[in-house]
Amino acid sequence: MKLLFFISSLFMTVSTSNHFKKVHPVYMSVTEFGFDPVQKKAEMTCKIFSNDFESVLKKYHTGVDLLNPTKKEISGRWMNEYVQQKLKVKVNGKPLTLEYLGFEIEEDAVLIFYVSSAMESPNEIIFENKLLYDFKTAQMNIMHVEVNKQRKSRKLTYPDVIAKFEF
């Protein structure tokens, strides 16, 4: 757990350092997933270095420029399509449909926001996470999950794609 906290902190340090604006030694995403028992909905945020995300999207689309405000709508569509293809979530054995809410740029990272429709309280959550594995095999994907005030974390490195959480 301390290692995951250190790595998450490193993500913030690396993303705010001017020295690492173009190249950085760590390739990672951080996914935060939480269940709101009052609304009975899940909320998810994916945080990915913007330059890495832009590079992988250029493999599939031309004219990708995530920092250009005039391309915000098309960039959002491309990012959502990519995340929906590369990150699957099952809750209590059933695929979870996540509605894309939008994205924002924070320092050198992109935050992509999702919400689920109403659902039962999760006993088991399984992620199939392949985010940016098609960019760098050094990619690391960290997931933080909180259900009923209980927080758990997992780290995936290439080629591992499955992370299971039980509550």
Please check whether residue 53 lies inside any domain of the structure. Answer: yes
Instruction: Please report the pLDDT score of residue 165 as a whole number.
Output: 98
Q: How high is the mean pLDDT of the chain?
A: 89
What count of residues does the chain have?
Answer: 167
Instruction: Please report the pLDDT score of residue 13 as a whole number.
Output: 42
Please check whether residue 29 lies inside any domain of the structure. Answer: no
Please check whether residue 153 lies inside any domain of the structure. Answer: yes
Tokens, residue 46: 């994916």
Please check whether residue 147 lies inside any domain of the structure. Answer: yes
Please check whether residue 132 lies inside any domain of the structure. Answer: yes
Instruction: Please report the pLDDT score of residue 80 as a whole number.
Output: 98
Please check whether residue 24 lies inside any domain of the structure. Answer: no
Q: How is the chain classified by DSSP, letter by letter? A: -HHHHHHHHHHHHHHH-GGGSS--S--EEEEEEEEETTTTEEEEEEEEEHHHHHHHHTTT-SS--TT-GGGHHHHHHHHHHHHHHHEEEEETTEEPPEEEEEEEEETTEEEEEEEE-S-PPPSEEEEEE-TTTTT-TT-EEEEEEEETTEEEEEEEETT--EEEEE-
Instruction: Please report the pLDDT score of residue 162 as a whole number.
Output: 98
Phi, then psi, of 59 in degrees rounded to 5:
-70, -25
Instruction: Please report the pLDDT score of residue 167 as a whole number.
Output: 96
Instruction: Please report the pLDDT score of residue 25 as a whole number.
Output: 78
Separation of alpha carbons 162 and 88, rounded Å: 10
- pTM of the shown model: 0.85
Please check whether residue 159 lies inside any domain of the structure. Answer: yes
The closest of 161, 164, 160 to 152, measured between CA atoms, is 164
Instruction: Please report the pLDDT score of residue 22 as a whole number.
Output: 56
pLDDT under 70: residue ranges of the chain? 1-24
Residues 6 or more apart whose Cβ sits within 8 Å of residue 79: 53, 57, 66, 103, 110, 112
Number of domains comprising the chain = 1
- Residue span of the structural domain in which 134 resides: 2-17+34-166
Please check whether residue 27 lies inside any domain of the structure. Answer: no
Cα–Cα distances (Å) from 73 to 13, 49, 82, 142, 144, in that order, read 29, 19, 14, 27, 28
